[in-house]
Structure formats: C-alpha cells, structure tokens
Amino acid sequence: MRERITYFSPRDADLDPNQLEINGVKVQGPAVEAVREHKITLTLPELPSEIAGLLRDLDQLQLRWATPASYNTLEPFSSRISPGLHVSYTPIKEDHDPEKLCTALQAFGRLDCSSPDVFINLSNGRQAGSPALFFYNELEKLDGFAKRLGPVVCSGPTAADCRKQLQELKDAVSLDMSYDSTSEAVKIQALWPLQKREIAVPASPKGRTEVGILRIGDAPGMEAHEVGVSGVLAVVGETKTPSPTMFAFAARHRAASGSFTSRFQQPTGLHPTLQLSLSSTAPPVDDGAECAPYAYFTFPKVIFADRYQLADELFLASKNLAAAKYVSEPVDLEAPAYTTKEWGSNVLLELAPPKDKAAAKNWTVEVPLHLRYLKPSPTGKEEAGIPYPAVFWACNGEQDVGYAINPFDRINLGYDGLFEPGTTFWHVSPKPEADGPLINNISVPVAKEGASQWVGVGTAVAVGLGFVWVLMKLMGGYAKSGHGTVKTAEDKDKKEK
Amino acid sequence: MSSSILSSLLRPAPLFSIAAILRLVLLLYGTWQDAHSAVKYTDIDYLVFTDAARYVSNGLSPYSRETYRYTPLLAWMLVPTAKPHLFSFGKVVFALADLLAGWLIVRVLRKQRGMSAERAGAFAAIWLWNPMVATISTRGSSEGLLGVLTMALLWAVEGKRIGAAGFILGLSVHFKIYPFIYAPAIIWWMDDEHLGNGVSKSPASFADAVIKFLSPQRIQLTLISLSTFMGLNVLMYYIYGTPFLTHSYLHHVTRIDHRHNFSPYNIFLYLASADPSSSSLHAFLPQLLLSCLFIPFVIAKKDLATSMMAQTFAFVTFNKVCTSQYFLWYMIFLPLYLPGSSMLRVPSRGITALLLWVLGQAAWLQQGYELEFLGVSTFFPGMWLASLGFFLINCWILGIIISDGAERSIQKVHVM
C-alpha cells in the first residue's frame, strides 16, 4: 500500500516550509488555503478477498463520485463530472453478470443495478481502452459509504485511526476508485475542496506515505500550455527535512474563466427546456488551437434528449447549439420510466457561442428535453433531480502530449473518450441556482393514485354506455330492415305482381 | 350567380386543379418554413420515413430507424427522398394519393350512384378541398395513402372487380392492419343480388345456405386477399427478418399506450401499465364486435360505403389509441355517406354533430395543453372526462350513421 497526500495552494498562498513539523509519525503545519488530495494505491492481495475476487473478473473498473455541493478547486484538479455516482467497467468475459459488482456497490447506498440491462454500452465512437459498460446513480453524500466501509477495511490496533480517516470522506467533494487488470492495482483518489485547512498527515501503519505541500508557480523552462508547481515533498517517517521541488507538466484538465448556471425554463410541461447560462464567450486559449464549448449530460431515465430532434441545423442554431456529438444508446423515445431498464442516458452537445463576442457577455443555451411518464403518485406530482452537466471548452492539441506524466491526471470521465487523445478540457465551473445543490429539480405531472378506482369503473361505464347505445341503433335498424338490402316501394310492387 | 360560379368550380377540371393548387401551395410553404424556421412544417413521422428510406437505399433495413413501425413498402416507395433535392418526393406522392382518392370518390359517385358531375364534385370537395386532409399529406403523413387504398377497395368491390378488390384488401391490411375490418363487410355484401348473378331462390336447408354462401367469388376474394397479405409478409420477413414482424405487427399488440391521446381507455391504460399484473386485452372486444361483426351484418348489404364508414368510425372511437390522424381513416367515406343522409336532410342534426365533434376535441386539447406545456397534472379528472365526453359524442354520431345506413338503399345503376 502506498499513500500520497497533496496540499495544493494558489500562487499567492502564504506557505513557509520552515513552519512544517516533520517527525517519525506525522507531518504537521499551519493552516493554509489549499486543495487536498489523498491517493492510495493498493495491490489485489491487500484487498479483502471478496473484493479482490470481484475485480479478477474485470478488465477495468472505475467508480467516480462527485458532490452535488458547489465547491472551489484549483488546476490541475479542475476536472468535473455530473454530481452522483458513475460506474464504468469492462468485464473479461462477455457474459459477465453484474450481480456481484452490484452487491458490492450497495456500500454506497441502495442502487438499482442488478440487471445487466441497467448498464449502457459505451463501446461506440470512443477511444480504445475506454470502459465498455456504464451506470449512473444519484448519490448525495458519502457518509453511508464511509460508515459501511469501516468494518471492512479497518482492523487491528489502528482501526480507530482508520475509521477517523474514513470519516473525512464526509467532506470530500470527489472520490475516484479505479482498477485495471494490467497493473492489478487499485487506485483510490479523494479530493477536498479549496479552503483554509491545517496540514496534518499521520504515518500510515501499513505502508509508505508521501506528502506534497505545493502551490502553483512558474517552473524553469516550462512551456505556455503547462502547469508549473513548486513546494516541498516529504515521506512520513523517512524524511527529516522537506525536500524542495519544482516541476511542470501538461494538464489534460484546466480551469476556464467564468462560470455557468443550469435551470429549467418555466413552465416545464412534459417537454422541458434546460437553460445553460454561461458567463464567458471567449475561448480559454488564444494560441491557434481550435476550441469549442461542450456540455456533457448525465440524464437519469426520467428525462431524455431526442437524437432525431437534435439533428436539424436550424433548430440547433435557434437553441445556440452547434451539434449533438454523442447520444448514448439505447434511448427509447416513447417508453415510460417504469418500463425503461437502462439507468438513463449520456449526451454530448457542442454549444454555439455568439458570433459577436463583444456584444454578448452572457449567453444562454437551450437544451430541448422530454419527460417520461412516471407511476401515479398520491399528489399527482413526482419530483426528479437532474444533475448539472459538465461544461468545458475542448481544445485540440498534439496527439503525443505527455498527459500521463501529470501525477494528478484523470481519465475515463465519460466525455474524454469521445475526443482525440491530445485534447485539453477547460472546465467552466458550475454555479448553483440560489446557493442550492448542483441539481436541477423538476416536477413531473403524473396521474393521482386515488384516480384508479374511479377510472376503472368510470371508463367501463362510459364504454359500456357507448357500446349499448350503438348496439341499440343497430338493433333498431335491424328491426326495421333486417340485414339484407332495403326493399324500396318499387321493388315491392315488382314482387307483388 | 354565385351558386353557378360555385357549381362551375365543382366540375372535374377546376375541382382537381384547386385541390392540386392547394397542395402545391402548402408544399411550397412547408419547404419555405422548414428552411427558415426552427419550428418545422414537416411532420416528425416524415423524418422517420425518409430516414428509413435512406437506410433502404444504402441496402440496410428500414427498421434500423427507431420508431419505424410501418411496412418496408413505404420506405421502398420513398427511396428517392434519400437524395437531398428530392426530399419532398414523398409528400408529392402522398398529395397525389389524395387526388387519386378524390378521383375515385367522383367515379364511385357518378358511375355507381349515378350522380351529376357537379353534385359528385361537391361531395368529393369535402375530401379534396379539405384543409385538414391537404395539410396532413403535405406535412408528410402517410395516412392519406390509406384513403386511396380504402376508396380503391370500395371502387373495386362495387365495380365487381373481385381480383383487384382482393389484391387491394391484402395490400391495405399489410400496410396498416385496420382495413381487415372491411373483409367481413365485403364478403357479406357479395351476394348474388349485388354481384348481378340474378336473384335465386331461398336456400332450402342450412347446408344449402352454407354452400350458397361459399360462392366462387367469395372464395376468390378470400384467396387473393389472403395470398397478397401473406405473400407480402413472407417477402418482408424473408428480407428483413424478425424486426419486420416486431415493428410492423407485434408492436401493436405489446405496446402499452400510456401516453395521453383521445382514446376513452387512455387514462385507464396509463394506470394499468404502471401495475404489471394487469392486462387490458379485453378492450379489443367491443371494438371488434362492432366494427367486424354487428355493423357489417346490419348495414353492409344496404350500403357498403356507409357500412365501411361506420365500421371505421367504430374502430377509431373504441380504439385503445386515438390521435387526430386516425380521423382521416373515416373522413374519406364522408362524400359517400353524406348524400341523402339525415345529417344533410336535417341540417340541425348535421351541424350539431359537427359542432360537438369539434368541441369534444377542443375540450380534450385544452386539458392536453395544460398537461403537455404547463405541466399541470390534468390526467384525472379533466382529461379523463374530456376523453369520455368525446367518446360519447362519437358514439352518438356513430348511432346516426348507423341509423342512416340501415335505412339506406343506394340507387343501383347496373341493369339486372
């Protein structure tokens, strides 16, 4: 087991390495404005046997969670995904049953993932090496997860410390767990947001703990597109004095200026429009790279976008959209939510910024969506929460950028696989509506539960009445003229003669 | 003066020219609106057809297009639309089908009802100059094709073209299933009297009656229509396999019809669909009894056209799904039913029927608007009551059509 804890501060942070207290059991320092990242690398034998057994059936697995709370961060920790739990994996055998995986995922809370049909297939149109299957579930907090995980991973004399560390997950804004069969290693990365925090890293009882106390700064010989970092590194229990460091790397995920807000246009009806308001029209870089803004959506099954509706250029242009680059499959355009098996769908839209950049500082994009029917409820309404999308500018770059050198790199976020390998993602930070979560709530009209007793009887009575009425008219007609041809007076005369 | 101008407009040349110009104007307007506005004139279904046609022209299955639930014939017919500059080809076909249906109406009225050109033109104008009909076909909905098929069926049967009638019947059922309701009416109608075989003696025994009923013409019609229907199905199944069966036919059995529409069963079906234990197949019973059995039994021999109108009206009214495009299915028969009907003889009745039919829809549409656009849960009681109200209005209208049909004796022009 290896651990790496990084405190990452802004350029102007007040950070004096001499104030750090480093001894055999911990690294401690004064409070500083910083993002904190905790990375743990484990090998399969170090895991509980059930989990190791589960992972051996998989080629790769990624669990990603993002908080619905709004938070501040710093480059290079600027990548965003929609709030909630994102699970993607590739099984080794094609007929893999996700049941075991789903059982393990219940550690996060009640997730509906036991049927293979819940997962959607990602294989179309993505970079090689992208995971094959994907599932999303809303998940507001990690509290339950931290609690349930305690007994499984914390044991022995250090169990109390271990549980305390797990409790810290309550304040984390992002959690990634990934496994791949080539390295046979599990990497866990948790992120705490930018805020004033004390530096405190205890030694790990099980392995080596590396600590980095860094801030953004120019490194010698760094190129324009790189992120420069300076600070000190230490290994708890090994280093007496921190060793200064300074380096630069190309980052896949950058922070664009400005922010965006997402809201539903009122009234929502059954075909709601999601409005994205962006505060900046300018691409993040001006160095000739081709950049375009995108939004990547994670839609729970209650709502969906119609790929065919998003194919007409005039229609798209009228909504400030450029193109629907990707819509996951399958998306049934008619079925109610209660017969739809897939968890939902992903959509990547290219946005169309206003041409006249000086005139419009703010601009709004409209995303036409459709609601599925939901089961009746006692109130005639059902509330649904739609997570914010990830909004970013994607700028194309050279294929062989050494993004992997970045010690804080993050891949397989859902959208990155849909772009060329050298693409840089400039993330626009999400701003909630009125300090709420990064979730857009929508009220879905449904039938009132109490209606069923009336509807059953009433419909039967009305159909019965209508049927009997028509039948009576038919019998009246039959009584008058039988089922044959009507004999006119002339016909009758003929017959009588 | 004005009436003479009007009657001169009803002569064939101006009648069809105006109908054609109306469609041409709508077609050009639609093309303009599509090119300039984000709100499209073209029906969404037309995009489904043309996408499917594009798949077909690339040697793929039309069922590669989601929600394509039609016979591959339609996609084949629209293959030219795969070329961008021929996008409107299908709409032109649908509009021409409208005109052909109108021509058949005029023909049936003149040859088989002995009507004057102007009078036949006046009734045909109900279809030909109907803005609803013209709009539906120029927006690219294929329902107009059913109009020409059913009218051709009536024309063939009344003209005693048994082979043609069998072929058209088989083709129509392959196309849209519902025309199977006309089969019992046509078979029942095809007695010696209607076919001009001379009136024979009443059969002596039940066995005689059965033998007499199984006339060569009836057997011919049955065999031709069945082999056309099955032949097309086997061909399509051979080419496109199971997706053809699933999307063209099985879909209609398994669909759960939960989305709001005019059908009286609608809210009931939505509630039932949310409860997996329920089944709603019994909803077919009143619909099929009326449209396939009782109505043709009483009316078909008296007036085949009115029987077909009443059957279609019953089928649409009692159907588990009902949208306004379905109304076109019975509208095609109006020009044949209306002459001599009590709706015209007693104008107040006709006007009341029309007003109630429109008001019933308006009430439902108002509820639908609140649900669809404002998100108000109008399912119960508003929309439910509106759909039942519209249903009862339709039953009342159906009653009038049936009473008229039962008293009807159409003037026969053929000489016995």
pTM for this predicted structure: 0.91
Report the percent of chain B where pLDDT is more than 70: 96
- List, as ranges, residues 198-257 from A with C-beta within 8 Å of B: none
Of the listed ranges A417-421, B29-33, B199-203, the one predicted with least confidence? B199-203
pLDDT grade for B301, boundaries at 50, 70 and 90:
very high
pLDDT grade for B414, boundaries at 50, 70 and 90:
very low
Interchain CB distance below 8 Å, B299 and A477? yes
Interchain CB distance below 8 Å, A443 and B40? no
Which residues share a beta bridge with A387?
Answer: A439
Measured distance CA(B67)–CA(B64) in Å, rounded: 9
Does B415 have pLDDT greater than 50?
no
Interchain CB distance below 8 Å, B377 and A447? yes
How far away is chain A from the Cα of B286, in angstroms, using its nearest Cα?
7
In chain A, residues with a C-beta closer than 8 Å to the C-beta of B395 are 465-467, 469-470
Does B413 have pLDDT greater than 70?
no
Does B17 have pLDDT greater than 60?
yes
For residue B274, the SS3 value is coil
| Cβ(B218)–Cβ(B162) below 8 Å | no
Closest CA to A416 of A395, A431, A439: A395
| Cβ(B49)–Cβ(A316) below 8 Å | no
Question: What are phi and psi for residue A176, nearest 5 degrees?
Answer: -120, 135
How far away is chain A from the Cα of B386, in angstroms, using its nearest Cα?
12
- Across the range B210-227, mean pLDDT stands at 93
Of the listed ranges A393-402, B149-158, B354-363, B371-380, the one predicted with least confidence? A393-402
Q: Determine the residue among B51, B395, B407 to mutate to test chain A binding: the one whose Cβ has the most chain A Cβ atoms within 10 Å.
A: B395
CA dihedral A184, A185, A186, A189 (to 10 degrees): -150
Q: C-alpha angle A145/A150/A151, rounded to 5°?
A: 125
Residues 6+ positions from A57 with CB-CB distance below 8 Å = A91, A92, A93, A96, A100
In chain A, residues with a C-beta closer than 8 Å to the C-beta of B392 are 462, 465-466
pLDDT of A23: 80
* Token digits of residue A494: 């003929």
B204 compared with B69, residue with greater pLDDT: B69
* Token digits of residue A67: 């908080």
Interchain CB distance below 8 Å, A467 and B290? yes
In chain A, residues with a C-beta closer than 8 Å to the C-beta of B398 are 470, 473
- CA B70 and chain centroid, separation: 15
Instruction: Indicate the pairing of strand A291-300 with strand A344-351.
Output: antiparallel
* A486 at B interface, C-beta within 8 A: yes
State which H helix or E strand residue B156 sits in.
Answer: helix B143-158
Edge-to-edge strands, sheet with A390-395: A321-327, A344-351, A291-300, A390-395, A424-430, A253-264, A273-278, A363-368
pLDDT of B281: 66
Measured distance CA(A200)–CA(A28) in Å, rounded: 4
pLDDT of A264: 96
Q: A84's torsion region: left (phi>0), alpha (psi -120 to 50) or beta?
A: left
Q: Determine the residue among A474, A490, A491, A495 to mutate to test chain B binding: the one whose Cβ has the most chain B Cβ atoms within 10 Å.
A: A474
Does B32 have pLDDT greater than 50?
yes
Nearest to A483 among B258, B301, B371 (CB): B301
Residues 6+ positions from A151 with CB-CB distance below 8 Å = none
pLDDT of A396: 87
Count the Cβ atoms, other than its own, within 10 Å of residue A286: 8
pLDDT grade for B199, boundaries at 50, 70 and 90:
low
- Digit-by-digit pLDDT tens for chain A (497 residues) are 888 999 999 988 777 778 888 887 888 888 899 999 999 999 998 888 888 999 999 999 999 999 999 999 998 899 999 999 999 999 988 888 888 899 999 999 999 888 888 999 887 777 777 888 999 999 999 999 998 888 877 777 778 888 888 889 999 999 999 999 998 899 999 999 999 998 888 887 777 889 999 988 887 778 877 889 989 898 888 878 888 999 888 889 999 988 999 999 989 999 999 999 998 888 887 767 789 999 999 999 999 999 999 998 889 999 999 999 999 988 888 899 999 999 999 999 999 988 776 656 788 999 999 999 999 999 999 999 999 999 999 998 776 677 777 888 888 899 998 998 889 999 999 999 888 899 999 999 999 888 888 898 999 999 999 999 999 999 999 998 888 886 654 554 444 44
Q: Is the peptide bond before B12 cis (omega within 30 degrees of 0)?
A: no
Measured distance CA(B275)–CA(B314) in Å, rounded: 28
For B270-287, write each residue's pLDDT tens digit: 998 888 776 666 778 999
The end-to-end CA distance of chain B, in Å, is 41
Residues 6+ positions from B162 with CB-CB distance below 8 Å = B156, B190, B217, B220, B221, B224
Closest CA to B76 of B98, B97, B93, B96: B93
- Across the range B63-70, mean pLDDT stands at 90
Measured distance CA(B249)–CA(B175) in Å, rounded: 10
Closest CA to A303 of A460, A130, A136, A174: A136
